[in-house]
Amino acid sequence: MRKFIFVALVSVGLASCFDSQTAANANDAEKKNKTCNIVNVPVFNQDSAFDYVKKQCDFGPRVPNSASHEKCLGFLAGELSRLGGSVSLQKADLKGYDGTIYKSTNIIAAFYPERNNRIVLFAHWDSRPVSDQEDGTKKTALQKPVMGANDGASGVAVLLEAARNFAAQDPGLGIDIVLFDAEDCGAPHWEQSKVENDWCLGSQFWSNNTGYSLSNKPRLGILLDMVGGPNPSFCIDAVSGYYAPNYAGDFWKVASGLGFGSFFKNVAGGQIVDDHYYVNTIAGIPTFDVIDFDTQRGFPEMWHTQHDDVEHIDRNTLGAVGRVLLRYVYTDCAK
């Protein structure tokens, strides 16, 4: 993900954002009369989620075309299958900013695949090939891959731990988990990209090839990205606020109700492009992003540096996001 401005939203989106907000407010007013029955929400195990972060990082940076990437693919596909998902691998050769072809695999796991009432949960499982947010004087560090404990592995870990619960306790709807590849291969800031849309390659491919029919297309999507850092700042970014304002609003309300209002801030999160941009604009599935970014601080300090490692993961953050996610999914208002 990156903080490149989503120009289209700047030019046409502002007025529309106000319209969306008005619609969201009207919808919220309606919902005040609706009771959301909380059915037995399973307990999210943050220690298990932390172990899933560590297991991914034990392979090393999962940079596309590397041996670590290939090994981690086997682990993730095997684990999702073991947890009860119907796993399929969507393979594609995707062209990067400098013409490199990335042998990419989106990992897809369907839970309760026979159900047409579905939602879809996303994260990216690849790691960034360069640490281009390192101090510019550290030339060697700049060229090293990012471990991606937070940037990538944390979202995957929360979804794996959630998956364990989906299989053990019926959420009452179908759930797809899609782990995107090649999200983080965009041009370093010192390079000019030779292709348009050089980030989020896996999600662009998936969005053009979802394989859903009209009847089983998910109603909403949730993307988790950088959900394991200390003192996170989760705000509703412009793309989420434009395409999925009500779903995002409900999610943030659930977070506040669980006492996580200091992590999930009820303010606009600014303009970023992440996988959800392509899911919204190409696949047409209303999708919001839970991402550690705010307009004052930007991305977390460790972002795209050599310090995005397991030592800088806070299991309480994983736990907070996991608890909100399970509460949201298992609340019948989400259906």
> Where do contacts with Zn ion occur on this chain (CB under 5 A)?
151, 184
- If phi > 0 it is left, if psi is from -120 to 50 it is alpha, else beta; for residue 84 that is left
Query: CB of 285: closest distance to Zn ion in angstroms?
Result: 22
**To the nearest whole angstrom, how small is the minimum distance from the Cβ of residue 148 to Zn ion?**
7
Of 175 and 182, CB closest to Zn ion: 182
Closer residue to Zn ion, CB minimum distance, 183 or 250: 183
Minimum Å gap between C-beta 229 and Zn ion is: 12
**Are 8 and 277 within 8 A, CB to CB?**
no
Least separation in angstroms between residue 200's CB and Zn ion is 10
Q: How far is the CB of 269 from Zn ion (least distance, A)?
A: 16
Q: Which is nearer to Zn ion, 59 or 112 (CB)?
A: 59
Give the shortest CB-151-to-Zn ion separation in angstroms. 4
Q: Which is nearer to Zn ion, 44 or 293 (CB)?
A: 293
Sequence-separated (6 or more) residues with CB below 8 Å from residue 249: 24, 28, 236
Give dist(CA 247, CA 253) in Å, integer: 10
Residue 43 CA to residue 298 CA, distance in Å, equals 31
Tokens of 15: 């007025």
- Whether 183 and 129 have beta carbons less than 8 Å apart is answered as no
Residue in the structure block whose two tokens are 């999925």: 244
Nearer to Zn ion, 146 or 175 (CB): 146
Of 127 and 246, CB closest to Zn ion: 127
CB of 283 to Zn ion, least distance (A): 21
Q: By C-beta, is 184 or 289 nearer to Zn ion?
A: 184
Burial class of 32 by CB neighbour count within 10 A (0 to 12, 13 to 18, 19+): exposed
Distance of closest approach, residue 312 Cβ to Zn ion, in angstroms? 14
In terms of CB distance, is 104 or 246 closer to Zn ion? Answer: 104
